[in-house]
Amino acid sequence: MTATDGDMSTTHLVIASKQGDNVALGQLLEQYRGYLLMLAHRNLSEQLRRRVDPVDIVQVTFLEVKRDLETFRGNSPGEFAAWLRGMLKNNVATAVTRHVMTQKRSVRREVNADGRGGDSAGAPWISQLPGSTTSPSGVVIKAEAAVALLEALHQLPETQAEAIRLRYMEGLPLASIVERMGKSDTAVAGLLKRGLQKLRTIIDPKNNPYI
C-alpha cells in the first residue's frame, strides 16, 4: 500500500516512509509539524524567537529527516516522534549557539533595532485551528486566544501539552491521538483530563474557546 492509495494510518505512514515512499514521508512529516513547532516554541524564549524562527528550525529538522531516515530503527508513531524530538532539540541548541553565543549584538539590541513585536510562531498555529473566521475582529480574537493557549501549554508536561494540542487545536478524535502518540486510550484520556485541569488554573476558559 502506498500513500497514493488513500488515507493511511500514522503507523502505515511510518512503515511506508521507511520503505522509500516519499509521498508517505511528506504526509507523515506534516502530521508532526504542529508538534515540532510547539517544541521549538517552548524551547526558545520570547526574545530568541524574534531572532530564531521556530518554523525555520522545523524545516531544517524535516530536511535532516529526509537525509537520515535510513538510520531510524523504529516502526511506531511513538518511536518516530521520539526520534524527531531528539533531532529538533539538537537543532534548537545549534541555532541558539549560532545566533546568540557567537553574535556581537545582544538579543535586546536586535529587537530594539528591528522594532518588531509579536510572536513569529503564532501564524502557523492559528491557520490550523478549527472554526477559523474571515472576520478581522474574529481573527484577532482567535489569534489572541491561540497565543494564550500556546503560552499556557508551556507550563504543562510535554505529553499533556501534545495531547491537548492534537485534540483542541487540530481537532483530532481520540482514536487518532492514541495512534499518533503511541499510547493507550486510557493514557491519552488521562493526559487530556489532567492537562485541561491544569490549563483551567492558568487561563480562564470563558475567555478562550479552545479549552
pLDDT tens digit sequence for 127-172? 333 343 444 444 444 555 656 676 778 788 989 988 988 887 778 8
Conformation bin of residue 107: beta by default, left when phi > 0, alpha when psi is -120 to 50: alpha
Identify the burial level of 39 via C-beta atoms within 10 angstroms of its C-beta, where 0-12 means exposed, 13-18 middle and 19 or more buried.
Answer: buried
Helix intervals (H) in the chain? 10-18, 22-42, 54-68, 77-96, 107-114, 122-126, 136-153, 158-164, 174-181, 185-202
- Domains present along the chain, CATH in parentheses: 1-119 (1.10.1740.10), 121-211 (1.10.10.10)
Q: pLDDT tens for residues 2-55? A: 554 445 799 999 999 999 999 999 999 999 998 899 888 888 877 777 778 889
Q: What is the pTM of this model?
A: 0.57
pLDDT at 1: 52
* Position 116 confidence tier, pLDDT thresholds 50, 70, 90: very low
Q: How far apart are CA 3 and CA 9, in angstroms?
A: 10
